[in-house]
Structure 1
């Protein structure tokens, strides 16, 4: 774990704790500047390993070569503009930059800096260079920075960076670490809510977990990710641009806008098919002895069919989800033909199935007649299968 000299270095202690407590052997390699924020004793105590910034210590062990050679993952958190620049240009003036040059494992950078530094053309070119070479450089978060400043450049949530590390490691050393690098993907997640009056709505049981797993996994594979999130209480995945929405109409507007330059669109959200024809400005009152008035419904826009029919760029891959309660595969095949998407993830849902769970099982149907079964397991496993199929079609 590389740590560079930014105020966010103290947050990296939480990332280190999560890595070690989950059973990983972590060697911390800070820059000299990083030690101005968190001292050597802290890194050594939390990791249980010696800490050094220099290539001239323990020379007989050749640390500037051995650390990178032995690693399964190198994560630099926080990654300052300076370290990104050195990594992009192959400079090696301390132990961390030497380690980056010798590492043949996946490398993940979690940038943190002021907005102006992140948006500077030099930094953006360095990030593009690293991504082109296969490194995973996640997008910084938006929020409070040092002092009174606010903007893009905030260090992402350490818990979410840890989840990204888990996803990269789970794919194994043989899998390409950043096979979605240079790609922009759009993912919808959660469940839309259609208001009846100021306090009531028509909704569904979707928690957004599958869509968030898709977004997190895509970020771990190097993609620039836009997550259109409908009414989910889950924390934003690290390195993902989140667009919050409420209704099906709002979701459509956000997805259509984000899809303009997207290589792939994955519609994992549970979008309401209908909405109330009229919205009551005041709370609908219960009348003694009288049955409630029927609620008239109108159709919502079919976002998946619209995106599939009017692709904003050649080669764009569109993936839909079908939540079925009976005749799952038959209904799924009919929906695939009707919607016109490239892939359709079909799963059986119910009160105790899929919605709100951390696990899922599904069959991914392809417009080319393919059929890929995904056994019961973590939703991240299904997400990886979906991105494997998308990446193959993009290639």
Structure 2
């Protein structure tokens, strides 16, 4: 997500966001998890935030879980695993949110905790997974956060980005 600063340093109201001077760019990356089912809903709710321009990078395996015709924004296919290259080239001064989604056994593996801590160490923001019954039948942590939670996290980050820096 690459927010651009507003023309003034005041905290914007919801109304002032509806007439943005500059677009705020959001890039959604989606992989081959069953959580990709939520992509159409996530994109549609993000598009309700005034001033956002949304694009999606999707792996080919993720396309199995949704209809590409339901995604009303630019959709880039990740044939050559370039999604990871985008993240490696990410400007660390820009916010990046990640929303883990996996089987409970995978979530509980010690490497997962190391990877999550490493991402947080880069300054990325985790939208934590939740407990629920997963498609595989497991019940426990691993399900991607609800779309509303993710969208609210984006809204919070956007509000933080447009607030003037306090010294």
TM-score normalised to structure 2 length: 0.73
User: Cα 1:114–1:27, aligned 2, differ >3 Å: closer, same or farther?
Assistant: same
**Aligned positions of 1:1-395 closer than 5 A:** 1-23=28-50, 24-43=52-71, 46-47=72-73, 49-54=74-79, 94-104=81-91, 105-172=94-161
Structure 2 equivalent of residue 210 of structure 1:
none
Whole-angstrom CA distance in 1 between matches of 2:29 and 2:61: 12
Q: Distance in 1 between matches of 2:67 and 2:76?
A: 10
Size of the aligned set, in residue pairs, is: 137
- TM-score (norm: length of structure 1): 0.32
Structure 1 runs not aligned, ≥5 long: 55-92, 177-387
Work out whether residues 128 and 144 of structure 2, in 8 Å CA contact, stay in contact via their aligned partners in 1: no
Could you tell me which runs of 5 or more consecutive residues in structure 2 were left unpaired when the two chains were aligned: 1-27
Q: Work out which of the two has the higher radius of gyration on C-alpha atoms and give 1 or 2.
A: 1
Runs of 4+ in 1 over 4 A off after TM superposition: 173-176
Q: Which has the bigger relative contact order, CA under 8 A and spacing at least 6? A: 2
RMSD of equivalent CA atoms: 2.3
Cα distance in 2 between the residues matched to 1:21 and 1:123: 33
How far apart are the structure 1 equivalents of 2:57 and 2:68?
Answer: 10
In 2, the alpha carbon distance for the partners of 1:31 and 1:173 equals 32
Query: Aligned partners of 1:7 and 1:169: how far apart in 2?
Result: 27
Q: Provide closer, same or farther for how the CA distance between residues 131 and 50 of structure 1 changes in structure 2, counting only shifts above 3 A.
A: closer
**CA 1:134–1:36 in structure 2 vs 1: closer, same or farther (change >3 Å)?**
same
User: Structure 2: how far apart are the matches of 1:50 and 1:154?
Assistant: 24
